[in-house]
Structure 1
Amino acid sequence: MNYPYGKSGLSLPFYIYYEYMLLTYQYKLAPTPEQIVILEIWGELLRRHWNYALGERLDWLRRTRSQVDRCSLVCEPIGEIPSKVDYFAQASNLKETKELFPDYKNIYADCQQQNLMRLDKAWKRWLTPDKNGKRGGRPRFKKPGDISSFTFPRVNHPKAGAYLTGNVLKLSKIGKIEVILHRQIPDGFEIKQATILVKADGWYCSFSLEDKTVPAVLPIEEIKTATGIDVGLEKFLTTANGLSIAVPQYYRKAQATLARQQRQLARLTKGSKNYQKQSNKVARLHLHTARQRKEFHYQLAHWLANSYDLIVFENLNIRGLARTRLAKSILDVAWGAFLEIMQAVAVKRGKHTIGVDPRGTSINCSNCGQRVEKTLAIRVHSCSCGLVIDRDWNAALILLKRGSVGLPISGCRGLDISQPVKQQVSFVNLRCSRYTACG
C-alpha cells in the first residue's frame, strides 16, 4: 500500500528521528537570602552586558548598511568602519570586560558566553529568514529585571559549573542550593544543562535531560483507534466519536480578582516597597492561571494519547485568529500550546499525530460532502442527505477522513444516515491524576 506520508509513515515531530529525546524537568530551589542577592546581581550584570553587546551589533549594522557605491540621503556615519561583530568577536572580549569591570569576575564564564549565544540566536532570527521566508523581531534592549535566567551548559561534568548530588545543586561561585525534587530524575537520563530562572513565587532550576531510549513508534498496520479533534470556543474540543471537553475559561474566571488587584496596584507609588509587593501579587495571579491552563492541557493530551493511536488535528492560523475580536477567548484557551503538548505526549507514547488543512470543515458535510453554508451562530449541521449532528462533531469527522486517507482504518468510523437522524455530542468529565499529567 502506498501511504501519502512517505516511507517512514506519518509525519512526526523532528526529534523522533534522532536516537535520543530531550526533556525538561523543572524543580523549585530553596536558596538562602545571601544566595538570592547573588542571583539577582548576576541577572543585572548579564542584562547590562546584553545591552552593551546589542548596541555594538546595531552600531556595526548602522555603519555598514549602505552599499559601497552609494550613500544614504538621510545620514551617513563618519569614521573608520568597524569590523564585523559576531558571537566569537564578543566572546573574545570577555577578558577585557572583566578587567574594566571587576564585578564580572564573580560570574561563571560559561553563563556569560551563554548570554551572548542567546543574543546571537535572536540576531540571526531577525536578519536571516527561515525556510518559510519569515523573520523574528529585532532584539530589544532589556529593562531592569527582564533577564531573569542564566544557563550552566554542563552539569556533573569535570569542567562543569553545576553539580547535582541528591537534592543539592552546587553552583560555581554561588554555593550549594537545596532542590525540591518533587519527582526523581529517571535512571539512564543524562543531565545536559541547567537553567536558573526566577518566577513570581521564587527561584527554579530547569534541567535539560537526554533520554537515549526513544520509544518505538506504533506501526501503521497496528493502528486500531483513530479520531479527529475540532477545537473551538464553545467547546474546547470535540472528537470524531462525539465526545466533547468543556472550555475551562481560567482567565475569564480570574478576571474579577485580577482587576481588583490591578486597581490596588494603580493607586500605589511606582517603585515603592508596597508597589513591588502588590506587583508580585498580580504576577502570582497570572502565574496561577497559566499553571492551571498547562495542567489542563497535559491532562487532556494524556487522555487522548491513552484513548487513540492516531490523532488528527487542524492546522489553524492561530496568530491570525488572535487578531480578531475573539482574541481574549482564543488566547485564554491557548490552542497552540495544547497542540504542541499533545504532539510531544504522543511522541513519548509512540502514538501518531497528523495536522490537516481545516478549510471547509465547518461547511462541508461529513456524510455526502455537500457544501452546507452556515453562520457561527448555527451550532447544528443539517444536510439534505438526512444527517443532523453538532457542527463541531461534523468537523471532527471530516478531519478524521482527511487524515486517514491511504491508511488501513475506517475514516468515518461507521457513521451514516442509517443511524438516528439527530446526533448529540456528550461531554467528558476530564479527571486525571496529577502525576500522569506531568508529561
Structure 2
Amino acid sequence: MLNLTYIYRLKLNQQQSQTYDAWLETSRRVWNFALGERKDWYNSRSCRIDACRINCEYIISADAPRPTFASQCLALTQARKTNPNLREAHSQMLQQVLRRLEKAFIGMWESGRGFPRFKKQGRMRSLLFPQLGVNPILGSKVKLPGVGWVKMRLSRPIPDGFVAKQAQVVKKASGWYVMLMLQANVDVPNFVPHGQPIGIDIGLKSFLATSSGEQIARPQFFVDLQCKLKLLQQRVSHKKLGSNNWRKAVAKVSRLYEHIYNTRKDFHFKLAHKLCDQVGMIFVEDLNFKAWAKGMFSKHTLDAGFGEFFSILEWVCCQRGVYFAKVNPNGTSQICPNCNHHTGKKDLSERIHCCGECGFQTDRDVASAMVVMQRGLAAVGHTVSQP
C-alpha cells in the first residue's frame, strides 16, 4: 500500500470561507474545553488530600475516571444534541481534534514533550476530514464536507490508480489549501545499493559538501529577511491590539514567514533532485539536530533546516529509485579518508584537512563526506563502481 500527499491551493468563495472559519473556531473551542477537562483532572490529583491549598484547589470526585479520547468523544456526541455550533460542524472533523489532543498527551508521556497548551483565537488552522465521498475529485474540483465542490489549482495531476482517502484543509497567510492523502494498492519496492555512491557532510560554512568535492553554498533564508521581519513586527506593536490595522500588519508578518518557509523548501527539493540525478547511492550522517538547535549556532541551524532537508532527500530518493542510508557520524572529521589515520580533533576554524601520515590534503567538509561514503559502503558491503 502506497500513500502520497499532494497539496493544492483552494479557491473558496465567501460563503465557503466563512463556513470553514466558523468550523475552525468551533474546533478551537472543542480543543480548549477538552484540554481544560483533562488539566482539571490532573490538578485535582496533584497534592495529598490533607495538604490542599487554602485559597483554591481543584476538587473532583476521587472515583472520577481520567478523561480519555473515548470518553470525550462520547461527551461530544451528547453535547452535539444541545449545542447548535457543534451540530453544524462536521462530526468526524471534531473527533479528529480530540484525537490530536490524545496524541499530544502521548507525545508528552513517551517523548518528553511539553504539556499541551490552550489555543487562542486564530491558532487553529487546519480541519482534518478522515473520510471523503465516492469520486471526490472531478477535474480541477474537489468535493469537501460542508461546502460541496470547490475549485482548486491543479498544479500537478493526480497519478493514475490513486484514490483520495482523506483531506486536510489548511488556512495559511496566502489562502486556503487542501492536503489530499492519495492511496494505491501497490507494493513499494526496496531499492538495493547500486550505481555510483556519494557521501554528504553538512556544515555551517557551506550548506553541504559531497565526497566528489562539490560544495553547495548555504542560503540564509531567515537571516537575509530578518531586518524586514523586524520592521514589520515593530509596526504590529505600534497598532492597537485587535484593530483592523493590527490584523493587516499581522497578516504581512505571516506572509513573510510563509515566504521564508516556501523558499527554504523549494531549495531543499531542487537540491535533493540534483543529487539524485548524479548517483545511485546517497549516504548521510545520522545526526541529532535537536541538540544542534540548542547550541551556539541554533539560529543558523534552524535557518538551514538540515533535518527537513534529510527528510525531503530520503523521500526524493524513494521516488527516484536511489538508495539512501544514514551512517554513524562520530569522528568523521578526525579520520583521513585516504589512509584511515586518526588525525585528532580539529577546531572549527581549521577548514583544511591535512594528514600527517600520507600528506593527503583537501577541504575539511569534503574529507568528512568521503569518510561518510566509506562507512556507508562498508555497511552495505558494496564497492565503488567506476562510472
Residue number in structure 2 paired with 1:204: 177
Q: Note the C-alpha offset of 1:330.
A: 0.9
Q: Note the C-alpha offset of 1:295.
A: 0.7
Query: Where do 1:95-174 residues align within 5 Å?
Result: 95-127=77-109, 129=110, 134-157=111-134, 163-174=136-147
Code of the residue aligned with 2:44 in structure 1: it is R
* Distance in 2, Cα, partners of 1:406 & 1:140: 43
After superposition, the Cα gap between the structure-2 partners of 1:90 and 1:390, relative to the gap in structure 1 and judged at 3 Å, is: same
* Distance in 1, Cα, partners of 2:60 & 2:195: 71
Q: Out of 244, 247, 263, which is 1:273 matched to?
A: 244
For the pair 1:371 / 2:348, whether they are aligned, the reply is: no
Runs of 4+ in 1 over 6 A off after TM superposition: none
1:104-146 per-position Cα deviation (integer Å, ceiling 9, x unaligned): 111111111111111111122223x2xxxx3322111111111
Q: Out of 235, 239, 260, which is 1:289 matched to?
A: 260
* Distance in 2, Cα, partners of 1:152 & 1:395: 46
Residue number in structure 2 paired with 1:394: 367
SS at match of 1:99: coil
TM-score, L = length of structure 1: 0.82
Contact 1:155 1:164 in 2 (8 A): no
Contact 2:130 2:167 in 1 (8 A): yes
Q: Note the C-alpha offset of 1:209.
A: 1.1
Residue number in structure 2 paired with 1:421: none
Q: Note the C-alpha offset of 1:65.
A: 5.9
Q: Note the C-alpha offset of 1:324.
A: 2.0
* Distance in 2, Cα, partners of 1:251 & 1:48: 33
Moved more, 50-59 or 194-203: 50-59
1:140-162 per-position Cα deviation (integer Å, ceiling 9, x unaligned): 1111111111111112349xxxx
Identity rate, percent? 34
Residue number in structure 2 paired with 1:50: 31
Code of the residue aligned with 2:13 in structure 1: it is T
For the pair 1:26 / 2:7, whether they are aligned, the reply is: yes
Residue number in structure 2 paired with 1:37: 18
* Distance in 1, Cα, partners of 2:52 & 2:204: 50
Q: Note the C-alpha offset of 1:77.
A: 5.4
1:60-110 per-position Cα deviation (integer Å, ceiling 9, x unaligned): 2333567xxx75745575452312321111111223212332111111111
After superposition, the Cα gap between the structure-2 partners of 1:60 and 1:79, relative to the gap in structure 1 and judged at 3 Å, is: closer
Paired positions, count: 380
For the pair 1:187 / 2:160, whether they are aligned, the reply is: yes
Residue number in structure 2 paired with 1:418: none
* Distance in 2, Cα, partners of 1:176 & 1:407: 50
1:207-247 per-position Cα deviation (integer Å, ceiling 9, x unaligned): 01113334533333xx1211110001111111111111111
Q: Note the C-alpha offset of 1:381.
A: 0.7
Residue number in structure 2 paired with 1:261: 232
Query: Where do 1:319-358 residues align within 5 Å?
Result: 319-358=290-329
Residue number in structure 2 paired with 1:213: 186
SS at match of 2:44: helix
Contact 1:200 1:284 in 2 (8 A): yes
For the pair 1:92 / 2:74, whether they are aligned, the reply is: yes
Residue number in structure 2 paired with 1:382: 354
* Distance in 1, Cα, partners of 2:137 & 2:294: 45
After superposition, the Cα gap between the structure-2 partners of 1:98 and 1:238, relative to the gap in structure 1 and judged at 3 Å, is: same
SS at match of 1:404: helix
Residue number in structure 2 paired with 1:226: 197
After superposition, the Cα gap between the structure-2 partners of 1:305 and 1:74, relative to the gap in structure 1 and judged at 3 Å, is: farther
SS at match of 2:137: strand
Moved more, 255-264 or 28-37: 255-264
After superposition, the Cα gap between the structure-2 partners of 1:233 and 1:89, relative to the gap in structure 1 and judged at 3 Å, is: same
Contact 1:217 1:351 in 2 (8 A): no
* RMSD, aligned α-carbons: 2.1
TM-score, L = length of structure 2: 0.92
